[in-house]
Chains A and B, each alone.
Chain A
């Protein structure tokens, strides 16, 4: 019985026993459904701590002004070893801030998708790599665009786990603070 209780507690579950003498006993075992653990990169975006799944990240980049080129009036690309990769400002895509005027010196995550397409997602800072426990948002709140799930960090705060594929599909790509033609760097 003790082994059962330890195993269940170890999984984050609970066991409850009700018993009526001469009648029977009922054991209720509750186990959390989402036991998934994810390897993630913990990043800062506009003072919010967020997590990007590590398996989506090919590498990290520091953007240099010579490598950033304008594509359209509000979109830019970055040169990564002879190919141009679309640039997305995550702070702007998530609605936390307006696009910046200058992204040179910014840190970006190079995301590779299953179809081979790539994108560079700009974050404010990369904190570290961590394994996080996935907590679903679907049941408690519903779907949030660009967000896969949530996790609880060591300090008790909730951090959102981003969905890079969803972000890229729905991205505006807007990296210009106002829609005027920008000079090529």
Chain B
């Protein structure tokens, strides 16, 4: 891909938002910057203690009480295989809707809402070194920062594994 142009950033107050723009919520895990399509973000919550699920995969942090419903929380750092600190009280949980499932995703901090033109999103390069690229849907370059667009489906815990 030779065409490395910076995405044009419109702030959320800008009136001239194009129809072909998508809005991304960007967030930080350790030193890495990721983003998700804002249309799938239901809400953003501060940190609450999760009830752990026995025999769950390591990246499933547990479940929390989301106004009376049970919300599973995925520790995104563990899911992506990133080496970061343990969740602290300053972590943030992003509640994401995907198809008919709602899942919380723990991140270190939420950064920005970015409005980018769809055609400036680049496909992820096929570097197979650390395995994290399968979670990335695309890349956006903003101000010399590289923001990865997260593929939500890959992050979710598998649906109803086979029972004994």
Contact = CB atoms under 8 A, between A and B. Distances in A.
Interface of A: 12, 48, 94-96, 135-138, 140-147, 150, 152, 156-160, 169-170
Contacts of A141: 53, 63, 70, 72, 157
B89 interface: no
A140 B101 contact: yes
Contact of B161 (A12, A142, A150, A152): A142
26 contacts: A12-B68, A48-B51, A94-B54, A95-B54, A135-B68, A135-B69, A140-B63, A141-B72, A141-B157, A142-B157, A142-B159, A142-B160, A143-B161, A143-B163, A144-B54, A145-B54, A145-B55, A146-B54, A147-B53, A147-B54, A150-B70, A152-B68, A156-B65, A158-B51, A158-B64, A170-B164
A145 B69 CA distance: 20
Interface of B: 49, 51-56, 63-65, 68-72, 101-102, 157-161, 163-164
| Chain B CB within 10 Å, residue with most, of A12, A136, A140, A158 | A158
Given A152-B65, A158-B64, A158-B65, A140 B72 contact: yes
Contacts of B65: 152, 156-158
A143 B63 contact: no
A170 B158 CA distance: 21
Contacts of A144: 53-56
Contacts of B69: 135, 140
Q: DSSP class of A's interface residues: helix, strand, loop or mixed?
A: loop
**Top 7 closest pairs, chain A to chain B, by CB:** A94-B54, A142-B160, A158-B51, A141-B72, A140-B70, A150-B70, A143-B163
Contacts of A160: 51, 53-54
Given A12-B68, A156-B65, A160-B54, 12 more contacts: A136-B70, A140-B63, A140-B69, A141-B53, A141-B157, A142-B159, A142-B160, A142-B161, A144-B54, A146-B54, A158-B64, A169-B164
Contact of A150 (B55, B56, B63, B101): B63
Given A140-B71, A143-B163, A152-B68, A94 B63 contact: no
Nearest to A137: B70
Contact of B54 (A96, A142, A159): A96
A142 B158 CA distance: 9
A168 B164 CA distance: 13
Contacts of B54: 94-96, 144-147, 160
Given A150-B70, A156-B65, A140 B102 contact: yes
B63 to A, nearest CB: 5
Contacts of B164: 145, 169-170
A135 B70 contact: yes
Contacts of B63: 137, 140-141, 150, 158
